[in-house]
Amino acid sequence: MQRIELKHLRATRWFHWVNFPLLFAMIWTGMWIYWANDVYRVGAGDVTLFHFFPDPVYKALGWDHKLSKGMAWHFFFMWLFAINGILYVAYTAISGEWRYLVPNRHSFREAIQVTLYDLGLSKAHPPARKFNGAQQIAYTSVVLMGFGSLITGLAIYKYVQFAWLAALLGGYPMARWLHFWLTMGYVAFFLVHIAQVVRAGWNNFRSMVTGYEVVNSDKEAL
Amino acid sequence: MSRQPDIQTEMARKTRRGFLTGGIATMAGLAGWAWIASRKLENELQWPLRRVLRVNEKLARGYFSQSRLAPTFPRSAAVAELRVNEDIGMDDDIDAENWRMQVAGSSASIAPVTLALDDIKKLPHSGHVTELKCIEGWSQVAAWGGAKFADLAKQFPPPEKARYVSMATANGKYYVGLDLASAMHPQTLLAYELNDQPLTDEHGAPLRLVIPTKYGIKNIKQIGSISYSETRPKDYWADQGYDWYAGL
């Protein structure tokens, strides 16, 4: 026996899918800005393992020579990104949806279990509920990262007016550094997220679009 | 597993509806983006983006306060060799002795006033160690010395209706526009010293602007003229697609 069950609320789906292109736009226009002073790397001392980014990357993606344009688009999309994010957090808090999302004391151990299972190192299937521990940690983290991007961005954008914020973040260069690495964090999140969505399959993906999932009712559905 | 036609039909209907809505929303988003991207350029930037920059500016100017200061650093934090980024509009044959600066539009004098470096040096000495921020993204700490713009403005006050200040190099090839509130900020300097030494040519000798509430692009070197105005003055980089306000 199968039945159809509501998994993701309409508002949550809208917030998610509106955020996706907005975050993409923030990253893309952010790279137009970053190109003008591309100082970050992975390495130590004189050894650079990877420089963000090699010239061919800029050329291939058209990220070069677009500083003014990048700033103008970035300072337009920032409002939409911030408003959507704030509304999402408010909605999630008020509706009680946060209960599924915020990690609890079991989440961390469960996240390890999920990771081992996903890497094929364990046969213990992760619990079948809306969000497992790994998801709770990942999704909550990415919301906190969004908050981090807003405050580091504000500290860079209006350094003098929000000097206290920049000081709290360790100064202007540190705020810029954090702003950049949070961006790299989204990229990493995105890659894992896509891999997991592909792996979870069509029924799961479809539920993020339609809201509904087909479940086997002989199993306890949560 | 037994197939249940009603469930399959129902789910197919929900799927169609969900993806159709998603498709329409995607098209609407792309159309919005394409619309902005194809608008007429206003100083190298699509006018809707210009308008957003103006809204951002309005908010920033509303929030701006002359009592909020750029953080200062110990003298030892200043870099020995401050980066030189641009020399647009600078003449290479200017010497401090013969250098003159025009001040126009002041309520103290209808005709433009001509000042020499000594006139600026007669104003109370002021200085600070602050972090210069290039719009490109780099920043460096430097120790500046000179006179507060606000002290010059005491001698040559802006007319009551003035809201802006324009500054340009002698040949007029580099020019910046400033809102009066930022120009009158206590850290805005007409600087003639860098790291306790007279300003070097490449850093804008004999007199340059140091305005920590703005990006480096507004810190004009080799000032040749200053004038007050009621309307927003032209700005070199704003003409090239950058934000006119460029305030921090």
Q: What is the pLDDT of residue A133?
A: 86
Average pLDDT, chain B: 94
Q: What is the pLDDT of residue A220?
A: 53
Number of domains in chain A: 1
Domains of chain B, by residue range, sit at: 1-38, 41-89+98-240
Q: Is residue A54 in a domain?
A: yes
Of A11-15, A57-61, A127-131, B28-32, least confident by mean pLDDT is A127-131
A221: confidence class by pLDDT, cuts 50, 70, 90: very low
Interface touch A67/B135, C-beta < 8 Å:
yes
Asked if B134 and A37 count as a contact pair (C-beta separation under 8 A), the reply is yes
Interface touch B131/A172, C-beta < 8 Å:
yes
Q: Is residue A103 in a domain?
A: yes
Asked if A32 and A67 count as a contact pair (C-beta separation under 8 A), the reply is yes
A62: domain CATH number?
1.20.950.20
**In which domain, by residue range, is A182 found?**
18-200
Query: In this complex, which of B10, B136, B243 lies closest to A4 when CB atoms are compared?
Result: B10
Q: Is residue A159 in a domain?
A: yes
Instruction: Count Cβ neighbours within 10 Å for each residue of A83-120 and write b for 16 or more, e otherwise.
Output: ebbeebeebbeeeebeeebbbeeebeebbebbeebeee
Q: pLDDT tens across B136-162, in order?
A: 999 999 999 999 999 999 999 999 999
Q: What is the pLDDT of residue A121?
A: 84
Q: Which of A75, A153, A23, A36 is nearest to B48 (CA)?
A: A75
Query: In this complex, which of B56, B63, B139 lies closest to A161 when CB atoms are compared?
Result: B63
A117: confidence class by pLDDT, cuts 50, 70, 90: confident
Cβ-based interface (< 8 Å): residues of A facing B: 1-4, 17, 21, 33-34, 36-37, 39, 67-69, 71-73, 75-76, 79, 157-161, 163, 166-167, 171-173, 176, 206, 209-212, 214, 216
pLDDT surpasses 90 at A222: no
Query: In this complex, which of A72, A157, A163 lies closest to B45 when CB atoms are compared?
Result: A72
Q: pLDDT tens across B80-102, in order?
A: 999 999 899 988 878 888 899 99
Instruction: Find which of A68, A160, A212 to mutate to test the B interface (most B CBs within 10 Å of its CB).
Output: A160
Residues of A in contact with B47 (CB under 8 A): none
Q: Is residue A171 in a domain?
A: yes
Q: What is the pLDDT of residue B91?
A: 86
- Taking one residue from A and the other from B, the number of pairs with CB-CB distance under 8 angstroms is 105
A110: confidence class by pLDDT, cuts 50, 70, 90: confident
Instruction: Report the alpha-carbon distance of residue B94 to residue A114 in Å, rounded.
Output: 71
Residues of B in contact with A163 (CB under 8 A): 68-71
What is the fold of B41-89+98-240?
Sulfite Oxidase; Chain A, domain 2 (3.90.420)
Query: In this complex, which of A67, A69, A157 lies closest to B136 when CB atoms are compared?
Result: A67
* H/E stretch holding A153: helix A133-157
pLDDT surpasses 90 at A207: yes
Which residue type, as a one-letter code, is found at position B120?
I
Instruction: Report the alpha-carbon distance of residue B195 to residue A112 in Å, rounded.
Output: 55
Interface touch A73/B49, C-beta < 8 Å:
yes
- Tokens describing residue B126: 């002021």
Query: In this complex, which of B53, B69, B138 lies closest to A75 when CB atoms are compared?
Result: B53
How long a stretch of residues is chain A? 222
Residue B67 sits at the vertex; the CA angle it makes with B64 and B73, to the nearest 5 degrees, is 105
Q: pLDDT tens across A59-107, in order?
A: 999 999 999 999 999 999 999 999 999 999 999 999 999 999 999 888 8
In the numeric block, the tokens 């991007």 are attached to: A149
Interface touch A210/B15, C-beta < 8 Å:
yes
Interface touch A159/B133, C-beta < 8 Å:
yes
